[in-house]
Amino acid sequence: MNESTLISLSLFALFAPLAGFIITLLTGKRLKTAYLIENFIISLVLLASIIALFVKLAYYVDKDIVSEITWIDLGIVPIMGKLSIELGILLDNVSLIMMFVVSLISALVHYYSIEYMRGDKRYNRYFAYLGIFTFSMMGIVLTHNILMMYIFWELVGLSSYLLIGFWYEKKSASDAGKKAFIVNRIGDLGMFAGILMIFVTYHTFTFDKIFAAIGEGILPFNSEFWLTATGILLFCGAIGKSAQFPLHVWLPDAMEGPTPVSALIHAATMVAAGVYMVTRIFVMLTGDAMLFIATIGALSAFIPATIALTQTDIKKVLAYSTVSQLGYMVMALGVGAYAFGFFHLVTHAFFKAGLFLGSGSVIHSMHHEQDIMKMGGLKKKMPITYWTFLFYSLAISGIPLTSGFLSKDGILASAMSFGSLTGYHIFAVVGFLVALLTAFYMFRLLILTFHGEPKDHHKFDHAHESPALMTVPLIVLAILSIFAFYTLNPLDAQQGWVLNKWITTPTSVVPESARYPFMVNHETHGSAEAHGQIIHSVEYTESLHHSHYPAMFLSLFVALLGIFIAYMMYEKKKMDADKIAGSMKPLYNFSLNKWYFDELYGVIAIGASLRLTEILKWFDNTIIDGIVNGSGWITKVTSAISGWFDNWVIDGAVNAVAYISGFFGIALKKTQTGKVQTYVALAVFGVMVFYFAMRLL
Amino acid sequence: METSTILNYLLFVPLAGALLLMVFPSANKNAIRYFGLFTSLVTFIISLLVYYSFDSGVYGFDKFQFEFKYSWISDLSISYYVGVDGLSLILVLLTTFLTPLTLLSTWNSIQIKVKEFTFFMLVLEMGMIGVFISLDLFLFYVFWEAMLIPMYFIIGIWGGERRIYASVKFFIYTMFGSLLMLVAIIWLAVYASSSTGYFTTNLLELYKVSPALGLDIQTYLFFAFALSFAIKVPLFPLHTWLPDAHVEAPTAGSVILAGVLLKMGTYGLVRFCLPLFPQASVEYAGWISLLAVIGVIYGALVAMVQKDMKKLVAYSSVSHLGFVVLGIFAFTPEGMQGAIIQMINHGLSTGALFLLVGFIYERTHTRQIADYGGIAAVVPVYSAVMLIVALSSIGLPGLNGFIGEFLILIGAFKSPVLSNWMYAIVAASGVIFAAVYLLWMYQRIFFGPVKKLELRGLTDMNGKELFIMVTLIIFIVWIGVYPTTFLQMTDKYSSALVNSILSVNGIIIR
């Protein structure tokens, strides 16, 4: 197995889904079984990803492999010389692990959808869309430059648009698709500005070259402030794509899409792309940029968690939970916990995809009922769905022996040590608080759905366990949420192979004065960077070590507390949920109405801009076109006046001459009688007049 | 000077075709259509021949190929002088490519006075090609004005209800600008004669002497030219003839108007304003870019509330052409390349949008967005094609619009002349609005339940329509995925032009 095989496998995994999309779309109309082509292709992609990951980890674990081609040749540019834009792929451990995650979940969702979507009138087209999504996502994962990432970034936005609005007959679905696309674009504007900043400064889009240049001390506008700004601008893209505060509003609405899509795109992969992007640009983030990122992450972890407490739509709860968990990852990266942030992305992808597929299984058997208040007692009817759902819930709550515990605990420990080193304890506090809320709302969801008595007997009677194509993916994802896949010590992820061997925190290239103090390694400066292993100072490593056990016990305690409260409230009914809600009505309403974000944006952004456009339309029609038509009118009036003048004055003068001549002509013609006597008489008269006149003078 | 006659055929073939049409009996509509299509295809093939023997490795903004010169008014040194470089050629190709497709699209929609219509279309084609290949200002002016006449008739005879108002407005508005340009041409030639020793409108000779004029004279001349071009672009606030002309024009008229005629404005800026008046161009770049950026945002916002599909697309043109002007006045190779490719993109995407609106209008006889709803299920192919074209207009990566906008924004961002990144950032936010108005229109037309009973009876695109659209989409994707094919035609030209202007102004790039 050599490098070129690895590159070929990755390129196959990238482009095969595109071929699947095109073939399925073109043949889908006539060929009833076109979806099988897409399923076959995704299986091959999964196989290729597994082999590639294996080869990479077995033979090239410390080597990054790059393959690139020239895309746009800009020719000779003043001062900069020859300039071209490259496209290419970067195969490192992070990208290949991510490629595996994407292709696995994508494949499972494909198989699951065969049953879930059966009977849909656009069945084949659905699979075609899954194909283009997988292609776009692979592009983001594999790319070696920020521009190509942006290109595929927009393409996943498109596939997301198509899939959210898949049932476009429903207005809410097409609204949600449009909202997702536009809200994402707002974030992308920032990202685009960041990309411009990078290109103008470094004349390249390639990550490695950018980082090398920053390492040499080249900064945008020669200032650390602008390096911070560039990092934050790029992060804006992640705010949109990963549904972070304040652009998180699109994700809950995106639940209008088919549930397997929610699992694939809006839980496991696409929304994680923002987090993935931050890991890619991690080394160029300054301390200030990271603090900003951590703050956004903390807000995004906290706000949706409080909203999820009161929602009654099974998918909405999971959607807010997703935003909250993504906030966790972003916060982790912000506090410098690179490896844990990425690790949580992977573990969350599996259990959250599982949760969504599980909810899909429930919705499927309940005839598209999504209100958990109308469910209950499904445990006996749907054992596989129930037990896997329980396991996922344990994982997301962070109970030991699950993968979720490993990653969550790591993030909390990092947040704690970050607090002790920098004084910003708030992130740890938010982390534990969110852990409590998460455990509570997940078990509220679980108990209301599966335990107790059925509330809608009609639907309950028809409910049944889903067929194997739907339950097997649930089992696979549950297995992947067991700790043993990542480490042999269920209490410490850092001893496992994933964090110990595969994912190592890269060395920051930011000038030391702009880093977090703890990311500057004073003691082992030269040798550490040479090995490319350690970026944190000794104090940080020690601090992390110290916070490991406190974080573990505390997180276990809050998780169990959350589960216990949910159990007492909804299972034992020792506490009356309604009464508690009633006793803090304003808070309850605030949560139920999602902190009124949609209303706020509705008034500010949409209302105001529609108003503005109406005003501009009026301005265009009345003022600008008014000036044009006005000058036309003035010309017309002027010409009318000129016409009148011409007709009456100038032509009048001409006519007057003619008239006067005519008048005298008529008057004098009387004298032309043709009789000689008259002429003689007149002549004599004339001579006499002349004579007397002379005499008088 | 090496002479070549091939460019003459580009002008001669459509004209000869138009004249030959006279002998056809008016009743035989299909023969007329076939003959018109045939003529435009021959023209297209000739332009391809030019493309294949064109050497894109020539560096310079005043180096032309396939030149042909014939003395016309020898006392004034005015000659019939044509030639192409990358910029001309790519726009000639756009013209010869769009004309047959447009003629094909009128097969059913134009039923009255087919002969006259085809005649005017061919004359129009000749006029447009003439504008792009003239190397003599006088000749250029003749083509520039001559081309108004067929367009005037196309709008005025085959247009909608307010066609007379629209065609007169179109004619007078553009004529107003052109007259100032004529004055400026004469003035320029007179000024130049002091250094050349004789009166001439030969562009290449004027290129040499004109930049030496004082800034005050350059300023007057620059604005006289620029006003005429800005009306044609149209640059905010000179755009109001455009929505009226588009709405009233028949589909074919709109396609040519948006596809090619607007490009004549931006072409004029690049070909004449910049190299003839380099100091004035740089001096006023900030103000013109400001208008361009206002146009980007303003056009998009006004497009958002339009109820008529054609009007919406027309305002989107104001927005897109704003990008092109911004790219031109950034004075960077990226910006210039982006502006040129964006001219092509706009021709393809907006042309396609107008065609699509025309297709549905032929079936339902309404362009009001509110009259539609939920037709995605009824006409799936049409809705898929519309989505691709709309996304290309939105600037989705992978399709053509992105390449142009992206290069323009890079250019504007690093521009040594504008030296303020706000232009790029504000213009970039126009991209968000583009998504808003196009996706909103798309949603209202295609999504939801089928709104009216009669919409259920809509037929999907027929073979001919599909052929036209697929041809356009091939290029939309081609430019999006591998723009080098097109960019390399003009990359030497762009850097030569920018370098020359910057060095005349003594601007050092950081």
Residue-wise DSSP of A592-656: HTGGGHHHHHIIIIIIHHHHHHHHHHHIIIIIIHHHHHHHHHHHHHHHHHHHHIIIIIIHHHHHH
Write the pLDDT tens digit of every residue in A357-392.
Answer: 999 988 888 888 888 888 877 888 888 888 999 999
Phi-psi sector, A686: left (phi>0), alpha (psi -120 to 50), beta: alpha
CA distances from A338 to A276, A291, A524, B387, B403 (A): 10, 14, 20, 39, 34
CB A364 within 8 A of CB A382: no
Residues of B in contact with A628 (CB under 8 A): 169, 173, 240-241
Three-state DSSP state, A90:
strand
Q: CA B255, B261, B262: angle at the middle one, nearest 5? A: 100
Phi then psi dihedrals of residue B470, to 5 deg = -60, -40
Write the pLDDT tens digit of every residue in A276-335.
Answer: 999 999 988 888 899 999 999 999 999 999 888 888 888 899 999 999 999 999 999 998
For helices B137-146 and B163-196, angle between their N-to-C axes, nearest 10 degrees: 180
Residues of B in contact with A173 (CB under 8 A): 447
Closest approach of B365 to chain A, Cα-based (Å): 24
- What dihedral angle (degrees, nearest 10) is formed by the CA atoms of A69, A71, A76, A80? -70
- Judge whether A3 is closer than 8 Å to chain B, CB to CB: no
Flag if A74 and B425 touch (Cβ within 8 Å). no
Q: Which stretches of chain A drop beneath a pLDDT of 50?
A: 524-534
Q: If we measure between CA atoms, which residue out of B171, B144, B173 comes closest to residue B156?
A: B171
Please spell the DSSP secondary structure of A545-565, one letter per residue: HHHHHHHHHHHHHHHHHHHHH
CA distances from A381 to A313, A365, A373, A459 (A): 20, 10, 17, 12
Give the tokens for residue A534.
């350690």
Q: Which residues contact A120 (CB under 8 A, 6 or more apart)?
A: A126
Distance CA A433, CA A626 (A): 61
Q: Is B426 exposed, middle or buried (0-12, 13-18, 19+ CB in 10 A)?
A: middle
Radius of gyration of chain A from its Cα atoms, rounded to whole angstroms: 38
Q: Which residues contact B155 (CB under 8 A, 6 or more apart)?
A: B163, B166, B167, B170, B245, B248, B249, B250, B253
Longest Cα–Cα distance of chain A, Å, equals: 153
Distance CA A447, CA A185 (A): 38
Q: If we measure between CA atoms, which residue out of B382, B381, B374 comes closest to residue B356?
A: B382
Phi then psi dihedrals of residue B79, to 5 deg = -135, 160
Q: If we measure between CA atoms, which residue out of A333, A340, A474, A359 comes closest to residue A405?
A: A340
Distance CA B251, CA B359 (A): 9
Distance CA B252, CA B106 (A): 7
Q: If we measure between CA atoms, which residue out of A10, A550, A174 comes closest to residue B383?
A: A174
Which residues face A86 on adjacent strands? A70
Distance CA A636, CA A16 (A): 66
The helix or strand, by DSSP H or E, that contains position B371, with its residue range, turns out to be: none
Nearest by CB: B502 against A78, A181, A617? A78
pTM over 0.80: yes
Q: Is B258 exposed, middle or buried (0-12, 13-18, 19+ CB in 10 A)?
A: buried
The pLDDT assigned to B132 comes to: 93
Three-state DSSP state, A218:
coil
The pLDDT assigned to A526 comes to: 45
Three-state DSSP state, B136:
strand
Residues of A in contact with B509 (CB under 8 A): 78-79
Closest approach of B410 to chain A, Cα-based (Å): 6
Nearest by CB: B428 against A175, A189, A200? A189
Q: If we measure between CA atoms, which residue out of A354, A368, A314, A374 comes closest to residue A119?
A: A368
Phi-psi sector, B437: left (phi>0), alpha (psi -120 to 50), beta: alpha
Flag if B298 and A178 touch (Cβ within 8 Å). no
Cis before B237? omega within 30: yes
The pLDDT assigned to B211 comes to: 83
Flag if B429 and A189 touch (Cβ within 8 Å). yes
* Chain A (149-208) residues lying within 8 Å, Cβ to Cβ, of chain B: 150-155, 158, 161, 165, 168-171, 173-175, 177-178, 181-182, 185-186, 189, 192-193, 196-197, 199-200
Q: If we measure between CA atoms, which residue out of A221, A165, A172 comes closest to residue A198?
A: A221
The pLDDT assigned to A455 comes to: 78
The helix or strand, by DSSP H or E, that contains position B71, with its residue range, turns out to be: strand B65-73
Distance CA A294, CA A286 (A): 12
Distance CA B224, CA B179 (A): 9
Which residue of B lies nearest to A233 if distances are taken between CA atoms? Answer: B425
**Where do we find the tokens 């607007």?**
B262
For helices A468-479 and A383-397, angle between their N-to-C axes, nearest 10 degrees: 30
Distance CA B371, CA B367 (A): 8
CB B266 within 8 A of CB B230: no
The pLDDT assigned to A79 comes to: 55
Residues of A in contact with B479 (CB under 8 A): none
Give the tokens for residue B139.
């000749």
Which residue of B lies nearest to A617 if distances are taken between CA atoms? Answer: B302
Q: CA B208, B214, B218: angle at the middle one, nearest 5? A: 75
CB A176 within 8 A of CB A256: yes
Q: If we measure between CA atoms, which residue out of B98, B187, B109 comes closest to residue B154?
A: B109
Three-state DSSP state, B78:
strand
CA distances from A326 to A240, A355, B164 (A): 12, 15, 60
The helix or strand, by DSSP H or E, that contains position B214, with its residue range, turns out to be: none
Give the tokens for residue A500.
């110990």
The pLDDT assigned to A531 comes to: 41
CB B62 within 8 A of CB B275: yes
Half-sphere exposure at residue A63, Cβ-oriented, CA atoms within 13 angstroms: 10
Q: One-letter amino acid identity for B301?
A: L
CB A499 within 8 A of CB A493: yes
Q: Is the dihedral of CA B257, B259, B261, B266 positive or negative?
A: positive
Number of cross-chain residue pairs from A and B with Cβ atoms under 8 Å apart: 135
The pLDDT assigned to A521 comes to: 61
Q: Is the ipTM of this complex over 0.90?
A: no
Q: Is A666 exposed, middle or buried (0-12, 13-18, 19+ CB in 10 A)?
A: exposed
Which residue of A lies nearest to B404 if distances are taken between CA atoms? Answer: A72
CB B301 within 8 A of CB A616: yes
**CA B437 centroid distance within chain:** 22
Q: Is A355 exposed, middle or buried (0-12, 13-18, 19+ CB in 10 A)?
A: buried
What letter would DSSP give residue A697? -
**Where do we find the tokens 């396939």?**
B66
Which residues face B82 on adjacent strands? B68, B134
Per-residue pLDDT of chain B (510 residues; tens, 9 = 90+): 566 888 888 889 999 988 988 888 888 888 888 988 999 999 999 999 999 988 888 888 888 888 888 888 888 888 888 899 999 999 999 999 999 999 998 888 888 888 888 999 999 999 999 999 999 999 999 999 888 889 888 888 888 888 888 888 888 888 888 888 898 898 888 888 887 778 888 888 888 888 888 888 889 999 999 999 999 888 888 888 888 888 888 888 899 988 899 999 999 999 999 999 998 999 899 999 999 999 999 888 888 888 889 999 999 999 999 999 999 999 888 899 999 999 999 999 999 999 999 999 888 888 888 888 888 888 888 999 999 999 999 888 889 989 999 899 988 888 888 878 888 888 988 888 888 889 889 988 988 888 788 888 888 888 889 999 999 999 999 998 888 888 888 888 888 898 888 888 877 654
CB A398 within 8 A of CB A555: yes
Closest approach of A256 to chain B, Cα-based (Å): 14
